[in-house]
Amino acid sequence: MNSLILCNLRWNVLRKERINLTDMEKLFEKTSMIMLLLILTSLALPTTVYICLSPGAKKYHYDKSCRGLNNCIHEIKAVSKGTAENQYGLELCGWED
């Protein structure tokens, strides 16, 4: 009787360990998912571009010190690429494509 209880206890401990391992695996899986999500989110983040707030400006620039921006005598503004394209109707600078 005593050995049966002991055996049962040992089995429970083993089972517990197995459950713990599964939890670890789940946690690892979850962590990988979060990492993957973070990578995807960072990729989906809007790209910042620089535009010259001149009425004649037609281009946006990835590089703030781009030669295309050197001529800008107006304010240089950092906006998302989508804003530059859709709201300002600008195209990528010819020096940077």
Q: Among 61, 79, 84, 90, which residue sits at the site for Zn ion (rule: CB under 5 A)?
A: 61
96 binds Zn ion (CB under 5 A): yes
Q: Which two tokens stand for residue 3?
A: 């050995």
Query: CB under 5 A: which stretch of 9-17, 40-48, 67-75, 79-87 binds Zn ion?
Result: 67-75
Query: 63 and 48 in contact (C-beta within 8 Å)?
Result: no
Nearer to Zn ion, 11 or 95 (CB): 95
In this complex, which beta carbon is closest to Zn ion, that of residue 31 or of residue 47?
47
CB of 78 to Zn ion, least distance (A): 13
Extract the tokens encoding 27. Answer: 């946690």
Contact with Zn ion (CB under 5 A): which of 49, 51, 52, 68? Answer: 68
Per DSSP bridges, beta strands 59-61 and 91-92 are parallel
**Are 62 and 95 a contacting pair, CB within 8 Å?**
no
